[in-house]
Amino acid sequence: MLQIQQLRKAYGTRVLFDDVTVALTPGERLGLVGRNGSGKTTLFRLILGDETSDGGRIETPKHYTIGHLSQHLDFQKPTVLEEACLGLPVQEGGWVEEYRAEEALMGLGFSVEDFGRPPGEFSGGFQVRLQLAKVLVSQPNLLLLDEPTNYLDIVSMRWLQRYLRNWPGEVILITHDRDFMDRVTTHTMAIHRGKVRRVPGGTEKLYEILAVEEEIHEKTRINQAKARRDTERFVERFRYKASKARQVQSRIKALEKQGSLDELEEISTLSFRFNAAPFHAHTMISVEDLEFGYGEGASLIDGLSLTLEPGERIAIVGKNGKGKSTLLNLIAGELRPRRGTFKRHDAVQIAHFGQTNIDRLHAGMTVEEEVIAAVPDHSRGTARAICGLMMFSGDDALKRVDVLSGGERARVLLGKLLVAPANLVLLDEPTNHLDMESIESLIEAVEGYSGGAIIVTHNERVLHALATKLIVFDRDTVTWFDGTYRDFLDRVGWSDEDDAGKQKPAKQAAAPATNDAPRPKETPKRSSKETRKLRAEIVSQKSRILRPLQKKVKELEDTIVDLEPKLQAAHEQIEAASQSGDHEAIGRLSKEAADLQKEIEILFAELESATIDHDEAAKEFDDKLAALES
């Protein structure tokens, strides 16, 4: 297995990480998280040998293979299927498991008709998917995936989730999509403040642990500083009294030995809210029988009707290239429909975050100038405040757009949206360049927004958190769905998942030669209706079992939270009684503190047991749901 020992990497005076020691267990699927720029991709490059470390070592067993998704696109074969088959290991007798390449290609969005086409005919996104298919079918011992979902649509992402859950070897995964990571991985590791923290389980557990550790660090630092000040006052007061000489010397030595914790450096976090303009009418947008296509070409959108009211969150979902961004541009008024009625209330004020909008940022302007240009009447101080919210504090606000990363440019565009008041926000893939923490901030901002929102996204965490209604591009049609994303999955589902196994890959004349050995028999597929019924039963049972466990955990946590201040107060009273020499109070308070401490320890033991029971039960139900989706 992969073993990392005391690894260190720095660029000049900036230390990315130091003394990193990690050993993967057999079959471990590790999610790697951390702020943008924390060193996640650098760690991948070190594992691959593309960069050298400043200390430590990385070891793997002999014949241990590592596969990764290369961004270098260099195709050698004339067809998609032949290129994908290059990744397949050749079996004894020269047999190649071509069906595995076909399965991967179809899962990642290629049709059977695409198998015979040249790779160069496809967009950059689909060429990256072809590279991913080659890596997956090569079945290395360790699979390194750095943002594999960037070029996938929601259906392909769901297929990749199922595929990786059944991966026989090890995986290290970097992705900004938190739900995708949690559904795939067995362990999570954070690069945080130059160190690593690895735990079994998902991101929620890891972030809770990091938060508790930082809280303990800060409380310990404050208590240490207070104790040091008290000691210094005692020494200063009794330094020259002979009767206190021994105590003074003892405390001086203790002070010299006492270490001190540094105050944790503040980590910049995207924190904002949209500036909501008032809207007092009932309907913001009304669309009936909308039809649109480019030029004389086929219709991308046909027969769509919808209404948007204030406070609603509509998500536009579906495969890439089907018209989701086009529909958003129609709503924004940047395109005109061929047919249909499109009514937008005169009081609607739109803020539009789109991929083309990012491209419209001026390369020669600074971040501050871009924000000011959005609303020239605003002062420079207001612009600087917006820059600060977008994590461009101080001189960072004077950076030119042409030196910014994709994520930084996305934050500039968000900043421009915050300057002017709006009552309708249009968000086209807003999470593409944001890290997990920033995505959480974005979700909170949209949740707290009083206006309407229409969002194009493949991020299922965003969909589950925000969407109240859906516009679905599927089966070459676009339909309106009045319900949440969970409702859609339970009641309708994606056609590619319903039809899985029905479409049989055609034999390609240009494919590599194989023998006539029979392929593995396919197990009968459950109908989508049966699957949704079983899923609903499992979800209902999960809720029934977990609810009392969750209640018990919360009650224990609340009791501990109530008792800890009482224990702290008792310790402070003991300290005061010691300084005044009140021995009676010291005895009474010491007993109270001991009783409280014992009670808290018992409660913590019960809390740990209850938490384990809850987590094990939750995992059992999650495994059942995962098996159902597989």
Q: Which residues contact 622 (CB under 8 A, 6 or more apart)?
A: none
Average pLDDT of 71-92? Answer: 85
pLDDT at 256: 64
Q: Which residues contact 423 (CB under 8 A, 6 or more apart)?
A: 276, 277, 278, 279, 284, 310, 347, 348, 349, 450, 451, 452
CA dihedral 424, 428, 432, 435 (to 10 degrees): 10
Unique residue bearing structure tokens 């000489």: 245
**Distance separating alpha carbons of residues 129 and 101, to the nearest angstrom:** 12
Token couple for 344: 């937008």
Average pLDDT of 528-549? Answer: 78
Cβ–Cβ < 8 Å for 498, 528:
yes
Average pLDDT of 462-483? Answer: 91
What pLDDT band is residue 484 in, cutting at 50, 70 and 90?
Answer: very high
pLDDT at 529: 67
Average pLDDT of 383-407? Answer: 83
Per-residue pLDDT at 513 exceeds 50: no
Q: Say if domain 3-65+140-208 classifies as CATH 3.40.1010.10.
A: no
What pLDDT band is residue 386 in, cutting at 50, 70 and 90?
Answer: confident
pLDDT at 425: 92
**Distance separating alpha carbons of residues 104 and 136, to the nearest angstrom:** 8
**Distance separating alpha carbons of residues 396 and 393, to the nearest angstrom:** 6
CA distances from 387 to 69, 372, 378 (A): 34, 10, 13
Burial of 15 (0-12, 13-18, 19+ CB in 10 A): middle
Per-residue pLDDT at 135 exceeds 90: yes
Of residues 260 and 470, which shows the higher confidence score?
A: 470
Least confident of 114-128, 335-349, 381-395: 381-395
Q: What is the pLDDT of residues 141-186, one digit of tens each?
A: 999 999 998 889 899 999 999 999 989 899 999 998 999 999 999 9
Provide the terminal-to-terminal Cα distance of the chain, rounded to the nearest Å.
27
Per-residue pLDDT at 514 exceeds 50: no
Count Cβ atoms below 10 Å from residue 282 Cβ, excluding itself.
9
DSSP character at residue 366: B
pLDDT at 629: 66
pLDDT at 414: 81
User: Residue 229: CA atoms inside 13 Å, Cβ hemisphere, count?
Assistant: 6
Topology of 285-498 in CATH? Rossmann fold (3.40.50)
* The pairing of beta strand 195-200 with beta strand 14-23: unpaired
Q: What is the pLDDT of residues 574-607, one digit of tens each?
A: 877 777 777 788 778 888 888 888 888 788 778 7
Class in CATH terms, 528-629: mainly alpha
**422: nearest Cα among 349, 338, 317:** 349
Q: Within the chain, which residue ranges are assigned CATH 3.40.50.300?
A: 3-65+140-208, 285-498
Q: What is the pLDDT of residues 183-209, one digit of tens each?
A: 999 999 999 888 888 988 889 888 888
Q: Within the chain, which residue ranges are assigned CATH 1.10.287?
A: 528-629
**Distance separating alpha carbons of residues 126 and 107, to the nearest angstrom:** 12
Token couple for 195: 């160190």
The helix, strand and coil proportions of the chain, stated in percent and rounded to the nearest 5, come to: 50, 20, 35
Q: What is the pLDDT of residues 138-148, one digit of tens each?
A: 999 999 999 99
